[in-house]
């Protein structure tokens, strides 16, 4: 029997079983609950309610951009983070957390400056990087951190 991964739906955060071999096969799959695609190639907006499903329960590594709408470097990095999501998914989920709206999450992870990216695997922080990065550097940093 093929090994199944737990993957959180980007739309409703429901956990879905997804065959590991389909990660590289280009098959996106759909959520069993809401029927949305499990992989969209775009960052997912997370809040306190959806964060746990994606960071701790999903088997897919999660790269989170902690940002705020008033932050100039955050605005400049947003299209780069979007581009990186298209290249890194489905092997890694990219997500954004608005620190103005989710102050408890920002405090929980001691976010001192923004933008700050944190890479999680099975709920554990693997790596952290602050400051503006282009898509290539985001991809390189994240993939090296997972090795």
In a domain? residue 23: no
Report the pLDDT averaged over residues 22-26: 67
**What's the CATH code of the domain at 87?**
3.40.30.10
Which element (helix H / strand E) includes 107? Answer: helix 103-108
For residue 17, being part of any structural domain is answered with: no
Total-model pTM: 0.94
Asked, for residue 10, whether it belongs to a domain, the answer is no
Q: Is the pLDDT confidence value at 11 over 80?
A: yes
- Write out 132-144 in H/E/C secondary structure: CCCHHHHHHHHHH
CB atoms within 10 A of CB 101: 13
For residues 133 and 77, is the Cβ–Cβ distance under 8 A? yes
Active-site residue, 71 included: yes
Which range marks the domain in which residue 105 is found? 40-146
> Is residue 22 over pLDDT 80?
no
Read off the pLDDT band of 26 (50, 70, 90): low
Let me know if residue 134 belongs to a domain. yes
- What pairing do the DSSP bridges indicate for beta strands 116-121 and 124-130? antiparallel
Residue 20 is predicted with a pLDDT of 83
6 in Cβ contact with 15 (< 8 Å): yes
Catalytic option among 12, 31, 34, 74: 74
Write phi, then psi, for 131 (nearest 5 degrees).
105, 165
Question: How many structural domains does the chain have?
Answer: 1
Given a cut of 70, is residue 17 above it in pLDDT?
Answer: yes
């Amino acid at each position: 029997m093929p090994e199944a991964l737990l993957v959180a739906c980007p739309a409703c955060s429901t956990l879905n079983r997804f065959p590991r071999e389909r990660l590289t096969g280009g098959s996106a799959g759909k959520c069993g609950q809401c029927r949305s695609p499990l992989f969209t190639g775009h960052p997912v907006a997370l809040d306190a309610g959806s964060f746990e499903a994606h960071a701790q329960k999903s088997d897919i590594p999660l790269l989170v951009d902690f940002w705020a709408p008033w932050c100039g470097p955050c605005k400049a990095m947003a299209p780069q983070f979007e581009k990186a999501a298209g290249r890194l998914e489905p092997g890694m989920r990219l997500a954004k957390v608005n620190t103005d709206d989710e102050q408890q999450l920002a405090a929980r992870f001691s976010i001192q400056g923004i933008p700050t990216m944190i890479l999680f695997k099975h709920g554990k922080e693997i790596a952290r990087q602050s400051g503006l990065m282009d898509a290539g550097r985001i991809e390189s940093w994240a993939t090296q951190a997972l090795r």
